[in-house]
Structures are given as C-alpha cells and as structure tokens.
Structure 1
C-alpha cells in the first residue's frame, strides 16, 4: 500500500478540494481520520462527490466545528491515538489531516505527532494570499524537525509566482503546482484544473 498525507498551513484553505483531485488522479482511496463538524457535508462526502472514488469511515466523527481536542472534550470523547493507524487498502491511500499541523488531537498530542509516526510522504497545501510565505515556511520547518518526508508544496488560489518560488527555495522543497479557485466546482472542472499539479512527482514519492 502506498500512502500520501495531505496537510495544510491552516484550516479552510482548500486542502479537501486538493485531496479530492489527488484521490481521483491517483485512483486512490480517501481517509479523513478525524472529522470535526457535522452540520454541513463532511470532508469525506465532499471528496467522494468530487473524486468519484471510495472513502473509508472516519475513526472519529465530532459534532462541533472546532479543533479536534475541543470537539472531543465537548462530547466526552477521548481520542485514542492508537486508533489513527492508517488502514490497509488496495492501491494508494490519500489521508487528509484535520486543520493545520499544530491542531491538537488531545491535550498531549498534535496532528503533527501522528503524521510523524506514519512515516509517509506529506504534501503541504498552502494559500497563495498574503502571509503564505511565513505560514508555509513555519509548517515546513515543523515537518522537517520531526523527520517527515515532504513530497512538496501545492498552492491554492490566484497566481503569486514570487511567493511560490520563495517558499520552494527557502523551504528546500518541490513546488507541485497551483490549483486555482474554481467558481464551478464539479468533478470534471476539478479534474481539468488538476492538470496543473505535478502528479508524476507525487507518484515518485509513493
């Protein structure tokens, strides 16, 4: 089994849409270990709709749209890190993290701690808007400090060529391409837009 982890510099930056495009491009199965917030479509449901690929049930489904540790506490749930071991599937597995790398799963564990244990290549999804250089380089430093293999950075948003080049050069990481914001978010539109992503480079890391 080949696993790739998708994380982001923050929440709400487009990593679920990116995960859907990647899941479809790789012919993969998708897994979101921890889902916080159930009032709207879950990330698994969104990915299934956009990728038309199978997904695995979450280890934890938490009602409150908040950091996983807070959502779990509100429901009297204790997240057991041992339950977050990647499941075995046929073919590639795309795992999407919750929030950013430093999102707490418990009062003792960050999502970064779990990612480091998985020892799988990580794709960092970053905005192209103001502040992305700082957020991206901090996230890359955190990944590298934990010995996580980084496949590269994928950008979401309008083109910001200097920011992309600066992050790639100063972070010593590959630029995997840019996914534009899609006004018409459909499976076909996402597939077409995902041609700008270097899927071949991602495959090399699996």
Structure 2
C-alpha cells in the first residue's frame, strides 16, 4: 500500500469525507492534515482533524489533534493569510520535515488545505508541497455545475508539474445538474487517470474498490 496526497479542485469539495472513507476502508493506513484553517477548539470533534481521528478510531483530544495537525488557525482563509492574522508564518521546511517523518512510519494519507493552488507562504503553493514530497495525488472534485472545468484545469496544473494523479475522486455534490455517471464519462474523455465516483452516502465498503 502506498502513501498519497489528497488535494482538491477547491475548498469544501469533500477531501475530509473521502480521506475518512479511505481510512475506514484501509485500517493499515494513517492520515495527517498538517494545516487547518477555520479551526475552533471547542468544535474539535467535528473539525476535519477530528473526523480523521474518528476514522482511525482515536479520540479528538488536544494531544491527538496536535499530533496530526500541528498548524491550526482560526480564520477560515488560505493558510498563509490565516497564519498572518495571528502574527505567524508557516515554516515550509518544518512542514516538509513533519510530513516526511510521518511518511516514514508507514502508508499515510496527507490531506491538504483547500485546493491544489492554495498559497502556503509568499513563494510556495500546495502544488509545490506535493511536488517536494514526491507523492502521487488523489484529486477530489465534485459533480456541481462548473466542476468539470475545475477538475480538468486542476489536473492539467498538477500534470504540468509532473505530479502523478492516481485517481480522481468524483464526490457527489448536492443539487448536481446531471447524474454523476454523466460527469464521470465526460472527465474520462479528457483525463488520463481513473475517475472514481463517490456517493454522498458512501461507506467504507464503497472505498474498498479503489485500489491503493
């Protein structure tokens, strides 16, 4: 089993839902979400990090949250902006070091913050983070109106940086304009990777069909 970086075409697309589903389907996997914006300590259990911990059978305690998400910020903004609101900046070298240490422990999913082009520092984007770790990507997209363009654009952006896309996870959007199978068929015509449809009520058994 390999390690993967989970990124998306934007924010609130379903990265955490998909990552948690993959964790439940593959108990030998672990996951981290190093950067998290919009974090409220009193809502730790329902936070992205809390959901990942639950999928790994761990409680959302302060220590466990810190172990998988060292960089947490209150403002629901891109990580660089959220950090700046608190008078901080993200140490990119430390971020890479943390991820590499976790990857050395075994197969790991690294969930990014927002989409593939989200700024982390004045000179680094999420795509740089992925490239520097040398990981293949699980790209999460939605079946919402405009999702096809966003997915193809993001995939081309990643491929241009020589980043391998293991699969596109087509997460079913509420009020999608067409059936998910139709969106899947369209994406398959344009992208050189597997398109894996994910229902809104998908459980662990659904994610088991995606070979990791």
TM-score, length basis structure 1: 0.85
Counterparts of 1:88-99 in structure 2, within 5 Å, are 88=102, 89-99=104-114
Q: Secondary structure at the match of 1:98?
A: coil
**Length, aligned pairs only:** 192
Aligned counterpart, 2:75 = 64
Counterparts of 1:29-40 in structure 2, within 5 Å, are 29-39=30-40, 40=43
Q: Deviations over 1:126-177 (max 9, x none)?
A: 10121111000000011001111110101111642222122122021111x2
Distance change >3 Å, CA 53–CA 19, structure 1 → 2 = farther
Q: Contact between 1:29 and 1:53, CA under 8 Å: does it hold in 2?
A: no
Counterparts of 1:132-147 in structure 2, within 5 Å, are 132-147=147-162
Please state if 1:169 is matched with 2:189.
yes
Q: Which is strand-richer, 1 or 2? A: 1
Q: Which runs of 5+ in 2 are unaligned?
A: 174-178
Q: Contact between 1:5 and 1:120, CA under 8 Å: does it hold in 2?
A: yes
Partners of 1:142 and 1:57 in 2: CA distance: 27
Q: Secondary structure at the match of 2:169?
A: strand
Q: Contact between 1:31 and 1:58, CA under 8 Å: does it hold in 2?
A: yes
Q: Secondary structure at the match of 1:108?
A: coil
Q: Deviations over 1:100-147 (max 9, x none)?
A: 011111222111111111111101011012111100000001100111
Q: CA deviation at 1:67?
A: 0.9
TM-score, length basis structure 2: 0.83
Q: Deviations over 1:55-107 (max 9, x none)?
A: 74223111111111110100011101111222235431010010001111122
1:153 corresponds, among 162, 168, 179, to 168
Q: Contact between 1:25 and 1:199, CA under 8 Å: does it hold in 2?
A: no
Distance change >3 Å, CA 95–CA 141, structure 1 → 2 = same
Please state if 1:44 is matched with 2:49.
yes
Aligned counterpart, 1:179 = 198
Aligned counterpart, 2:176 = none
Q: CA deviation at 1:53?
A: 6.0
Q: Deviations over 1:36-63 (max 9, x none)?
A: 1112332111112234269742231111
